[in-house]
Structure 1
Amino acid sequence: MPKIASLLAWMVAVPLWSQLIVHQPLDGPLAVSGELAELRNHHFHSGIDLRTGGVTGKPVYAVADGWVRRIVVRPDGYGWALYIDHPSGFTTVYGHLESFSDEIWQFTESEARRRGSYRLDLYPPKGMLSVTAGTVIGLSGNTGSSGGPHLHFEVRDLASEEILDPAAHGLDIPIDPNRPKLWAFSYGRWRPAGDSVSVASWYDLAVTLPEQDFEVLVSDSLRTTWSLKRWSFDVQRGADAGLALGLHQQQGVRGFLIHPTPTQPAPGWRHNLDFPRASGRYTVAIRSGSARIWSGVVRVREFENRVPQPAATLRDGAVTLHLPARAFAWKQNLTLKSEERSIRVAPDVAAIKPVHYDWVPQGMHDSLWDKTYLAVRDGRGSAKIPGIRTSDGAIRYTSKTCGSAEIRIDTEGPNCRFIRKTPSGSVLLHVHDELDVEVVRAQINGQWCWAYLDAKTNTLAVHVGDAVGTLDVHVQDELGNLTTFTTNL
């Protein structure tokens, strides 16, 4: 009995999980520019974006004691990023940094020099780069695929690497004042819903809200609940299955469909009960926490829960399109048309799984087979995919974009030109190519030197300090086309 009593006392004294964050990652009151689980192009936003006043160079702090497990430097994605593990079983991520602390940078530069690489993914030995809560680990920036200066901050489960809600672990962020809204698609347009709406399908209703959770009741019966507070990266494409694409195209806002689609891979859906299938008039209530988003009457026609298509193959001319089973949010009646090097897939639709375009070149010299890429565009964006030879005499392009496409040949290296030299001792070059570019080597008088390419601005910064002599920079695109830029310092 005493053991039970002491155990109960311990359970009362200690919460089920301890608060991770004991020091906020930035100074001052935190302001949010991007919420957790927001619908982004082809993914859920995996963290919280914190404003830095429109400038770079703000101190970024470790939120708890731990050690740097991973250091990433790349031209896209999170740019300069740090991953810190904590004894409590969590990992925190700090993205789009401008620079690292001196200790972290010394290790990073040493490894870059040893490897001769400018795209880094480093794993320091555990405990080598220890930090305490409140330690400055770097400065905020705008590196990688950032749309402006800010800090991207994440909390992950250390063991599973699943994404968690930072606010639930101590991130002190304000409540978003934006009022949730229901949208309805009727007569060819998406509009804010009034007290009653008439739609053809339950799929024609979508909700926009800052907090990524809501529940839907039809005739006072709970039909579905959406709440995404923990998920893994392998379900990121679920954002496309949950997005009301027409609403985004017409109104420029991203809304969640209130009815889960059959192929939705994200774990956020609960109580996936069938919505009424018969046409009729239904009372509907949509809530987020204790707040009412919308309540009123929905008139809906006879409803069919759309079943996704099985695996399929479309052929036209020299092009074959391979579609895996459950490739789209729901069944699509696609058509494929090809002419020489142009491809048209209709309708434009984002795929949840990769699709394969196989092209059999006619009369093209063998030396050019490895110099082709697919430029494809759908209703939400574009992609440029280098080709890979297949064993059956085709070139394969794998993409999650399905739409208008063109096969192009590229045998030229990136364009590289001088911009200026900065007071801090960096030579800035403008590097442009239709494909992704990688820095192969930068040298001053034949000696390796550090360089960083910012993909979104096509700007390559080569640190030369006060060196004199000859600077040689070698860059290449994804097809291996090389350019060498040389200048005197």
Structure 2
Amino acid sequence: MPSVRFWILFFLPFWAQGQIVHQPLDGLLAVSGELAELRNHHFHSGVDLRTGAVTGKNIYAVADGWVRRIVIRPDGYGWALYVDHLSGYTSVYAHLESFSPELWAYVLQEAERRNAYRLDLYPAKGSLPVVGGQVIAQSGNSGASGGPHLHFEMRDRESEEIMNPVALGLLIPQPRVRPELWAKQDGRWRKIADSASVNNWYDLALTLPEQGFEVKVSDSLRSIWSLQQWSFDVQRGADAGLALDLHSQQGIRGFHIHPSPSQPAPGWKLKQAWPKSSGTYSLSVNSGGSPIWAGRVRVAQPNPGSTQAPRSMSDGDWSLEFPAQCFGMAQNIIISANGSKIGVKPDVAAIKPVTYSWTPSKLADSLWDKAYLAVRDGRGSAKIPGSLSADGRIVFTSKTCGSAEVRIDTKGPQCELLRRDPSGRVWISVRDELDSEIVEITLNGKWIWGHLDLKSNFMYADAGITKGKLVVWVRDEVGNLTNFTTEL
């Protein structure tokens, strides 16, 4: 394992600084997701560490400190811990299955006191101390996780900006896969050959931009991209540089090597002017100090693009509002309304929320608060509850820009008893066209703990060995409520 040994020796001096003094998992760490990877609508904010496709692995505090925040939610990071350290950093552990007994006792007490199953707790500073190497949790697959793993982050404690954990002592092997340069020629993206002929500079994209890259044109350094520290409010910058049709054609995420006019993320360390005249240019791309590609590129129309001005559009019963710099560059958006549906072209990624407004011509007053927007772009979909405006419109604020449809949901979640396992957990299926949440669970009138997993549509209630009446209240995003009762 020479690459692992080099990594350990290279970062050994950081250990003395007390930043990461113990690794978060046992054994050699294996990575399934790198820092700053291009994801759907965001840069990956941490490092995903493999847990052998199973849950229940011990998670260790990486240094002395105190628990700053504890989160339990059915989406996002799921079960997560935030630990502050004297070094000025915060370590984050997400998609957990459970907490240590000491932490769980505090969480359970607070959950019952608040009558809540979705928690965001901030213990008093120093009230829940930890030491480096202490078991603080078990790994899991909670929240928006695609499989068992540990999502690990290091943040600046004051600004909460995302930091590179490798530079602070996380011992992971160097990436073995190197970036590749792709070119769009005649409307199709292909891995670039010895030379290329493209329409404009945005027809060139690099995979694995999280490893950083620099671009020279005609032997002059034009751009450097390296995202090592950033705040969560610029996460949509991933969409500002994403080569959308490369992803739709090849299933590959690539990043434009030419800076977009609007880029909220601070990754561009250098943005010199690129040639604006058509012609053939020498081009070279390096990453990590190594050459990725060098050759000749003919550019027909090297248009650098412009920033997006604020814009409002209307058609039929619909209107859309795009804020300034909503996209990485100005787009010619076309909309077409048809009743409760709205078509939006082309497929573009928004880096600021878009406001959809629908004024229904025929909709009973009792149904207005049951409306939600089902919107889809080339990378995914979202369902967004609406709000009623004073002038009779139903308004939806969407981070996804794409064709959409208003749907009405008047039914509460459907619940079905599945089983009671040997530990006393009662498992219940909860299904709805929208996301659901637990409102309350009681056993013989007494509050008990439970949790809903939105990926599987399963929830559990910790009934133990007690017999009697189990009552579960669940609610969907537009307020439809279901009461499920069963005898144990």
TM-score computed with the length of structure 2 as normaliser: 0.96
User: How far is the alpha carbon of 1:18 from its aligned partner?
Assistant: 2.5
The equivalent of 2:58 in structure 1 is: 59
Contact 1:35–1:210, Cα closer than 8 Å, also in 2: no
The equivalent of 1:7 in structure 2 is: none
State the secondary structure of the residue aligned to 1:382.
Answer: strand
User: How far is the alpha carbon of 1:64 from its aligned partner?
Assistant: 0.1
The equivalent of 2:286 in structure 1 is: 287
State the secondary structure of the residue aligned to 1:462.
Answer: strand
**Superposition pairs for residues 111-150 of structure 1, below 5 Å?**
111-150=110-149
Contact 1:219–1:283, Cα closer than 8 Å, also in 2: yes
Tell me how far apart the structure 2 counterparts of residues 24 and 17 of structure 1 sit (CA, whole Å): 14
State the secondary structure of the residue aligned to 1:408.
Answer: strand
Tell me how far apart the structure 2 counterparts of residues 330 and 345 of structure 1 sit (CA, whole Å): 17
Contact 1:56–1:139, Cα closer than 8 Å, also in 2: yes
Tell me how far apart the structure 1 counterparts of residues 474 and 111 of structure 2 sit (CA, whole Å): 16
State the secondary structure of the residue aligned to 1:191.
Answer: strand
CA RMSD of aligned residues (A): 1.3
Contact 1:144–1:454, Cα closer than 8 Å, also in 2: yes
Unmatched segments (≥5 aa) in structure 1: 1-13
Contact 1:78–1:96, Cα closer than 8 Å, also in 2: yes
State the secondary structure of the residue aligned to 2:107.
Answer: helix
Tell me how far apart the structure 2 counterparts of residues 162 and 134 of structure 1 sit (CA, whole Å): 24
Tell me how far apart the structure 1 counterparts of residues 32 and 145 of structure 2 sit (CA, whole Å): 12
Tell me how far apart the structure 1 counterparts of residues 187 and 318 of structure 2 sit (CA, whole Å): 34
**Superposition pairs for residues 450-489 of structure 1, below 5 Å?**
450-489=449-488
**Superposition pairs for residues 91-240 of structure 1, below 5 Å?**
91-209=90-208, 211-240=210-239
**Superposition pairs for residues 274-313 of structure 1, below 5 Å?**
274-313=273-312
Tell me how far apart the structure 1 counterparts of residues 359 and 278 of structure 2 sit (CA, whole Å): 49
Tell me how far apart the structure 1 counterparts of residues 407 and 210 of structure 2 sit (CA, whole Å): 43
User: How far is the alpha carbon of 1:138 from its aligned partner?
Assistant: 0.6
The equivalent of 1:394 in structure 2 is: 393
Tell me how far apart the structure 2 counterparts of residues 387 and 348 of structure 1 sit (CA, whole Å): 23
State the secondary structure of the residue aligned to 1:348.
Answer: coil
What amino acid is aligned across from residue 472 of structure 2 in structure 1?
V
Residues 121-171 of structure 1: CA deviation (Å, up to 9, x unaligned): 000011111000000001000000000000000000000000000000000
The equivalent of 1:8 in structure 2 is: none
Matched, 1:448 2:430: no
Tell me how far apart the structure 1 counterparts of residues 15 and 97 of structure 2 sit (CA, whole Å): 37
| Farther-moved stretch of structure 1 (414-423 vs 142-151) | 414-423
Tell me how far apart the structure 2 counterparts of residues 156 and 52 of structure 1 sit (CA, whole Å): 22
| Farther-moved stretch of structure 1 (442-451 vs 276-285) | 276-285
User: How far is the alpha carbon of 1:289 from its aligned partner?
Assistant: 2.2
User: How far is the alpha carbon of 1:419 from its aligned partner?
Assistant: 1.6
Contact 2:116–2:439, Cα closer than 8 Å, also in 1: yes
Tell me how far apart the structure 2 counterparts of residues 305 and 220 of structure 1 sit (CA, whole Å): 19
The equivalent of 2:5 in structure 1 is: none
Tell me how far apart the structure 2 counterparts of residues 487 and 394 of structure 1 sit (CA, whole Å): 41
User: How far is the alpha carbon of 1:247 from its aligned partner?
Assistant: 1.0
Matched, 1:321 2:320: yes
User: How far is the alpha carbon of 1:220 from its aligned partner?
Assistant: 1.1
Contact 2:40–2:379, Cα closer than 8 Å, also in 1: yes
State the secondary structure of the residue aligned to 2:141.
Answer: coil
Matched, 1:50 2:49: yes
User: How far is the alpha carbon of 1:476 from its aligned partner?
Assistant: 0.4
What amino acid is aligned across from residue 343 of structure 1 in structure 2?
I
The equivalent of 1:357 in structure 2 is: 356
Tell me how far apart the structure 2 counterparts of residues 78 and 210 of structure 1 sit (CA, whole Å): 24
Tell me how far apart the structure 1 counterparts of residues 417 and 347 of structure 2 sit (CA, whole Å): 40
Tell me how far apart the structure 2 counterparts of residues 101 and 175 of structure 1 sit (CA, whole Å): 31
| Farther-moved stretch of structure 1 (309-318 vs 83-92) | 309-318
User: How far is the alpha carbon of 1:210 from its aligned partner?
Assistant: 6.8
Tell me how far apart the structure 1 counterparts of residues 288 and 48 of structure 2 sit (CA, whole Å): 23
State the secondary structure of the residue aligned to 1:440.
Answer: strand
Contact 1:176–1:210, Cα closer than 8 Å, also in 2: no
Change in CA separation of 1:328 and 1:124 when aligned onto 2, cut-off 3 Å:
same
TM-score computed with the length of structure 1 as normaliser: 0.95
Runs of 4+ in 1 over 2 A off after TM superposition: 14-19, 209-212
Tell me how far apart the structure 2 counterparts of residues 467 and 225 of structure 1 sit (CA, whole Å): 63
Residues 67-113 of structure 1: CA deviation (Å, up to 9, x unaligned): 00000000011100000000110000000010000000000000000
Residues 313-335 of structure 1: CA deviation (Å, up to 9, x unaligned): 11111111111111111111111
Tell me how far apart the structure 1 counterparts of residues 189 and 238 of structure 2 sit (CA, whole Å): 19
Contact 1:23–1:64, Cα closer than 8 Å, also in 2: yes
What amino acid is aligned across from residue 442 of structure 1 in structure 2?
I
Residues 253-299 of structure 1: CA deviation (Å, up to 9, x unaligned): 11111011111111010221121111111111111122111111111
**Superposition pairs for residues 394-433 of structure 1, below 5 Å?**
394-433=393-432
Change in CA separation of 1:217 and 1:237 when aligned onto 2, cut-off 3 Å:
same
Change in CA separation of 1:325 and 1:85 when aligned onto 2, cut-off 3 Å:
same
State the secondary structure of the residue aligned to 2:233.
Answer: helix
Tell me how far apart the structure 2 counterparts of residues 309 and 121 of structure 1 sit (CA, whole Å): 37
| Farther-moved stretch of structure 1 (56-65 vs 265-274) | 265-274
Contact 1:444–1:471, Cα closer than 8 Å, also in 2: yes
Change in CA separation of 1:331 and 1:210 when aligned onto 2, cut-off 3 Å:
closer
The equivalent of 1:26 in structure 2 is: 25
The equivalent of 1:10 in structure 2 is: none
Tell me how far apart the structure 2 counterparts of residues 350 and 430 of structure 1 sit (CA, whole Å): 35
Change in CA separation of 1:17 and 1:401 when aligned onto 2, cut-off 3 Å:
farther
Change in CA separation of 1:363 and 1:211 when aligned onto 2, cut-off 3 Å:
closer
The percentage of aligned residue pairs carrying the same residue is: 62
The equivalent of 2:259 in structure 1 is: 260
Tell me how far apart the structure 2 counterparts of residues 413 and 456 of structure 1 sit (CA, whole Å): 18
| Farther-moved stretch of structure 1 (374-383 vs 102-111) | 374-383
User: How far is the alpha carbon of 1:302 from its aligned partner?
Assistant: 2.8
Unmatched segments (≥5 aa) in structure 2: 1-12
User: How far is the alpha carbon of 1:209 from its aligned partner?
Assistant: 2.6
State the secondary structure of the residue aligned to 2:402.
Answer: strand
Q: How many residues align?
A: 476
